[in-house]
Amino acid sequence: MATPITRVQQPTRFQAAAWELGAFLRHVDYLLLLATGGLLAYGLWVLESVTQNDVPGDPGYYVFRQIVYVVVGVVLLAAAAVVDPHSYRRARWPLYGASLVLLLAVLVFAEEVRGSKRWIQIGFFNFQPSELGKIALVIVLAGFIAERRQRLAEWRTTLGVIGLAAPLMALVFKEPDFGTTLIYTAIVIGALFFGGTPWRHLAVLAVAAGLVAGALLWFLPSAGLDVLEPYQRERLVGFVDPDIDPSGSTYNVNQSITAVGSGGFDGRGEANATQTKFNYLPEHSTDFIFSSLAEQRGFIGASILLLLYAVVIWRGTKIVAVARDLYSAILAGTIVFALLIQLFINVGMTIGIAPVTGIPLPLISYGGSSLLTTLFLVGMLEAVHIRGRLAAAR
């Protein structure tokens, strides 16, 4: 009598791929995706209402271009979520070299726009290498520290991190782009912090940074040595006291604060937002877009934006905790920290609690380079999350 044979069927290749995809999709952080998507949609809406009068006869000029960037950026985000972050780690030295070359190329080839060289024209796209540099810097530092996890207590490691970041930072500073240099600084601090650098190292660095800032702003200028461009120092000092010269260096801040304040609780609406409409507010599609939003949509509109951001930061912070290894944790932590700092500096400058440094509001400001970079970084956060969860499940 024959017993029925129970056959364990080998899954086909297709089935295996489907299961894997299923597991993959189950571990996506949807809240983070939702908040990011919300910011993108909100950002397009804000951009549309803010730039209506900017190009006569073409109210959709900026939005149309931004939509194209968003589409490309979403594809980038998806790609970054799929690719294992460790593959970047292995390619970090070529990445680092490429960033150096590109940043050098900017200094050599770029055309000056309002006193600084930041963009390289590639076809119709104005490419900003310092944005790409952010990604490279995050990966290089995370890889560097993760490799030396046993020697974190040594000053060699800490100083090595700073030494790696220094050339990139110097090149960006030379453009000059003080705001992005600050973001690079945040990346360095984030990497050291989440890499587990000893507290005393961090304390020493903090004191040193304070001394350098003091030197740049007060001691060296009084000794006749100007490292900062005059406008940079004026803005930093003007940030401390915006009423020094209302139509000069702090014109932007004053106009911005007026715009934000005049928005009131529920905003002045598109038609009555005179600060934006009559161009009193400079750069209202890029660096000062938050002021325009606050003017047009008031405290409510601004709060919606900040809450969406809060979700992104909250989810990001959780991702640091679920990262499967030190490298991924540093990656996630640094990205979240840098995003937080960029958000603070950009929004802070428009409301007078941070210096005016000219960096975009991530995911909202008009401009392709920043948008694509930020979406790629969010994609990396997802990748860390998915792989952390998958590892935990096994």
Partner 1 sequence: MALRVAILGVLAVVVFCALFFRLWALQVISGERYLENANNNQIRSFGVLAPRGSIVDRDGDVLVSNKAGTLVQIWPAAIENLPVAERDRMLRQLSKLLGLKVPAVQEKVGESLESDPLTPVTIDTTVDEFKTAYLMEHQSEFPGVQITETYLRNYEQGDLAAQILGYVSEISREQLEAKADEGYRAGDRVGQTGIEATYDTYLRGVRGEGRVLVDALGRITSEREFSQLPEAGDNVRLTIDVDLQRAAEEALEYGVRLAHDQDEWAANGGALVAMDVSSGEILALASNPTFDPDIYVGRVEEKDLKRLAARNANLPTMNRAVAGGYPPGSTFKPFVALAAMEAGLLRPDEYIQCTGEEEIDGQIFSNWDPYKNEPMTVSTALANSCDTFFYQVALRFYERKDSPLQRWSRSMGFGSGTGIDVGPEAAGLVPTPAWRRKTFKTEIDKLWTSGDSVQLSIGQGDLLVSPLQMTRAYAMIANGGKLVEPQLVRSVEEPRAEGEPPVVLRPYTPKPPVEIGLDPNVVQVVQEALYDATHASYGTSQHVFGSFPVEIAGKTGTAEKFVKLPGFAGLRDQSWWCGYGPYRKPELAVCALIENGGHGGTAAAPVALKVFEKYFNVKPGSYSAVIQQSD
Following DSSP, what letter does each residue of 13-69 receive, concatenated? HHHHHHHHHHHHHHTS-HHHHHHHHHHHHHHHHHHHHHSTTTSTT-TTHHHHHHHHH
Between 116 and 274, CB nearer to partner 1: 274
Binding region for partner 1 (CB under 8 A) out of 84-92, 181-189, 209-217, 336-344: 336-344
Asked if 261 is part of the footprint of partner 1 (rule: CB under 8 A), the reply reads yes
CB-CB contact of 357 with 179 (8 Å): yes
Q: Is the dihedral of CA 373, 375, 376, 380 positive or negative?
A: positive
Strand partners of residue 122:
125
Query: Using the rule CB under 8 A, which residue among 294, 308, 364, 386 binds partner 1?
Result: 294
Q: Which stretch binds partner 1 (CB under 8 A): 36-44, 256-264, 374-382, 386-394?
A: 256-264
Shortest distance (Å) from residue 388 CB to partner 1: 13
Given candidates 54, 274, 283, 391, which one binds partner 1 under the rule CB under 8 A?
A: 274
Residue 235 or 315 having the CB closest to partner 1: 315
CB-neighbour burial class of residue 351 (10 A; exposed 0-12, middle 13-18, buried 19+): middle
Using CB under 8 A, pick the residue from 5, 12, 56, 243 that binds partner 1. 56
Among 116, 126, 185, 258, binds partner 1 (CB under 8 A): 258
Torsion 105-142-335-202 (CA) sign: negative
Q: Nearer to partner 1 by C-beta: 116 or 262?
A: 262
CB of 50 closer than 8 Å to CB of 285: yes
Binding mask 93-112 for partner 1 (x = CB under 8 A): --------------------
Site of tokens 């730039």: 51
**Candidates 123-131, 219-227, 305-313, 364-372; binding stretch for partner 1 (CB under 8 A):** 305-313
Spatial separation of the C-alpha atoms in residues 246 and 239, rounded to whole Å: 12
Judged by CB under 8 A, does residue 125 bind partner 1? no
| Closest to partner 1 by CB, 132 or 141 | 141
Tell me: does residue 58 bind partner 1 (CB under 8 A): no
The SS3 call for residue 99 is helix
Residue 61 found at the interface with partner 1 (CB under 8 A): no
Q: Pick from 106, 260, 338, 363: which binds partner 1 (CB under 8 A)?
A: 260
Q: Check binding of 355 to partner 1 (CB under 8 A).
A: no
Shortest distance (Å) from residue 348 CB to partner 1: 7
Q: Are 177 and 230 contacting, i.e. CB atoms less than 8 angstroms apart?
A: no
Per CB under 8 A, the list member of 21, 166, 306, 392 interacting with partner 1 is 306
Touching partner 1, residues 6-35 (CB under 8 A): none
Q: Check residue 384 for interaction with partner 1 (CB under 8 A).
A: no
**Sequence-distant (≥ 6) Cβ neighbours of residue 167 within 8 angstroms:** 100
Contact between residue 163 and residue 343 where contact means Cβ atoms under 8 Å apart: no
Q: Give the binding range for partner 1 (CB under 8 A) out of 65-73, 192-200, 356-364, 367-375.
A: 192-200
Cα gap 49→272, rounded to integer Å: 12
User: What are the start-end ranges of the H helices in 263-325?
Assistant: 269-272, 274-277, 289-322
- Confirm if 168 and 99 have CB atoms less than 8 A apart: yes
The answer to whether 359 and 345 have CB atoms below 8 angstroms apart is: yes
- By CB under 8 A, which span of 41-49, 76-84, 222-230, 332-340 interacts with partner 1? 332-340
Q: Is 262 in the site for partner 1 (CB under 8 A)?
A: yes
Least Å distance, CB 320 to partner 1, is: 5
- At 121, phi and psi to the nearest 5? -80, 120
Q: Which residues bind partner 1 (CB under 8 A)?
A: 53, 56-57, 193-194, 196, 247, 257-265, 268, 271-272, 274-275, 277-280, 294-295, 298-299, 302-303, 306, 309-310, 313-314, 317, 320-321, 329, 333, 336-337, 340, 343-344, 347-348, 351-353
